[in-house]
Amino acid sequence: MTDPQQIARLKQVVDDLLKEAREQGADTAEAGVSAQTGLSVTVRLGETETIEHTSDNGLGITVYFGHRKGSANTTDLRPDAIRESVAAACRIAKYTSEDPAAGLADPELMAKDIADLDLYHPWELDADQATEIARHCEDAARAIDTRISNSEGATLYTQRSAFVYGNTHGFIGGYPTTRHSLSCAVIAQEGDDMQRDYWYDSSRLPDELDSPTSIGERAAQRALARLNGRKLGTRECPVLFRADIAPSLLRSLFGAIRGHAVYRKSTFLLDQVGERIFPDWVKISEDPLRLRGAASAPFDNEGVATQYRELVSDGVLQGYLLDSYAARKLGLQSTASAGGVRNATISDTGQSFEQLLREMDRGIVVTELMGQGTNLVTGDYSRGAAGFWVENGEIQYPVEEITVAGNLRDMYQKLAGIGNDNDIPGSIRTGSWLINGMTVGGD
């Protein structure tokens, strides 16, 4: 089925859902339907390990009787299943309590013109072709050094999706997307020491993926660099979070300014709008309308039109991330944030990774984080880590079994530089972060 046909079919499903909800007595309703197909191939040690063809549907319906809400989900798009899903949502709503904040997003916020963001670029390849690409990637990793002793394999994944959302305001919109990725994970060994690492790339467009050779070689180089890691004594020093690790620091920020955390008063950034939380050179923005962006969307999960927005300007927090429910709880307006932040970018200080090393002079480069030691209520931060020790602005040796600790409020204020090495795959565009004065725990 071609993508226009798929979108048209899903719009009809959503329309049927909303009509059924009205017929069963709902005052208002909203529904989202998705369909996707995919191919995943993994090659390990030169042999095809798995070939998976996937085909999934998903349907969610939410109905409102006044301010009483009920929801139901199914993977079955047949008419009988649709009717039963609506009936289940209606039964739930009739037994829930009133919630004045419950309801559809405001009608005036609905997307009017749904832009084509160029998100659909299917990859016409079969399982044999996918296998050859994955094999080439793993071969490149295994050939780079005899110390690459084992492999977890290389995986090629390609997916086509279609999504449609509608509600009883009269809004129905949808768009198709594609996502392609190639990854490789290998194990390096020297003596008794074994270290694993990986690399990957992902894109809307298959032609924009890094070459299989470069992905495989980078995975191998990262694993080799970790061999013969040492332990450190506990100390205070600067920490450089490498660009592929730094997005986690922004995700913590986004979690702390989510409307649901704010109205529950469970965030260390409560009442901080208008306050400086970063140095004055920092700007953090989201751009949901970026062409071919990894998280682009013309409207959020409630049909609200998305737009470019600065979350932090000159280091000052500009606002929270609000869906319609959180906005009503706070007496504010939705920021089209149902579904999260889309295509976030943070400004850099123009330095390369090597220049940040020289500025740090002596400290830790973090290349891996472990555990869930981030408390968004207090801002306390403590994560297991691995990386490299730096002296005189140059990497000296790998380190392992350490922790890095601080408080996110202080870490954001002590941000000394962000690199221009922001070419990592994903929906968050950032370079490496240099943060002064963290506690590194070791022996």
Structure tokens, 197: 């690492």
Question: Distance between CA 258 and CA 238 in Å, rounded?
Answer: 29
Residue carrying the six token digits 């740090």 = 360
Question: Distance between CA 38 and CA 189 in Å, rounded?
Answer: 34
pLDDT of 359-395, one tens digit each?
999 999 999 999 888 999 999 999 999 999 999 999 9
* Cα–Cα distance list, 336 to 166, 212, 291, 312 (Å): 15, 37, 18, 17
The verdict on 218 and 238 lying in the same domain is no
The CATH number of whichever domain residue 39 belongs to comes to 3.30.2290.10
- Please say which residue of 225, 240, 261 terminates a domain: 225
The verdict on 234 and 341 lying in the same domain is yes
Residue 57 has pLDDT above 70, yes or no: yes
pLDDT of residue 373: 87
Candidates 409, 408, 406, 398; CA nearest to 437 is 406
* Segment 178-186 mean pLDDT: 98
The 8-class DSSP code of residue 78 comes to S
Candidates 204, 164, 205; CA nearest to 4 is 164
Asked if 254 contacts 374 with a C-beta cutoff of 8 angstroms, the reply is no
The verdict on 109 and 19 lying in the same domain is yes
113: pLDDT confidence band, cut at 50, 70 and 90? confident
The verdict on 132 and 236 lying in the same domain is no
The verdict on 190 and 280 lying in the same domain is no
Question: Distance between CA 180 and CA 273 in Å, rounded?
Answer: 38
Question: Distance between CA 334 and CA 301 in Å, rounded?
Answer: 12
Question: Distance between CA 218 and CA 186 in Å, rounded?
Answer: 10
- Cα 398 to its chain centre, rounded Å, is 28
Identify each DSSP E strand in 191-234 by its residue range.
193-203
Give the number of domains in the chain.
Answer: 2
Question: Distance between CA 173 and CA 307 in Å, rounded?
Answer: 16
The verdict on 215 and 305 lying in the same domain is no
Candidates 441, 335, 442, 413; CA nearest to 433 is 413
Return the percentage of the chain with pLDDT > 90, whole number.
95
pLDDT of residue 1: 47
- Please say which residue of 173, 205, 225 terminates a domain: 225
* Cα–Cα distance list, 170 to 24, 30, 71, 85, 278 (Å): 18, 10, 19, 21, 42
The verdict on 358 and 309 lying in the same domain is yes
Question: Distance between CA 5 and CA 126 in Å, rounded?
Answer: 22
Residue 5 has pLDDT above 90, yes or no: no
* Segment 426-436 mean pLDDT: 97
How would DSSP label each residue in 130-167?
HHHHHHHHHHHHHHS-TTEEEEEEEEEEEEEEEEEEEE
Sequence-distant (6+) residues with CB within 8 A of 336 are: 109, 288, 299, 300, 304, 305, 306, 307
Candidates 265, 260, 258; CA nearest to 377 is 265
Asked if 118 contacts 193 with a C-beta cutoff of 8 angstroms, the reply is no
Question: Distance between CA 86 and CA 63 in Å, rounded?
Answer: 8
How would DSSP label each residue in 258-325?
BHHHHHTT-STTTT-TTSB-S-TT--EEE-TT-TT-TT--SB-TTSBBP--EEEEETTEE---B--HH
Domain interval for residue 211: 3-225
The verdict on 18 and 82 lying in the same domain is yes
The verdict on 197 and 329 lying in the same domain is no
The verdict on 119 and 254 lying in the same domain is no
Residue 6 has pLDDT above 90, yes or no: no
pTM above 0.85, yes or no: yes
The verdict on 129 and 209 lying in the same domain is yes
Sequence-distant (6+) residues with CB within 8 A of 348 are: 418, 419, 420, 422, 430, 431
By DSSP bridging, strand 428-429 and strand 344-346 are parallel
Residue 3 has pLDDT above 80, yes or no: no
- Please say which residue of 193, 225, 257 terminates a domain: 225
**Amino acid letter at 69?**
K
Structure tokens, 9: 């079919």
The verdict on 167 and 234 lying in the same domain is no
Q: What is the mean pLDDT of the chain?
A: 95
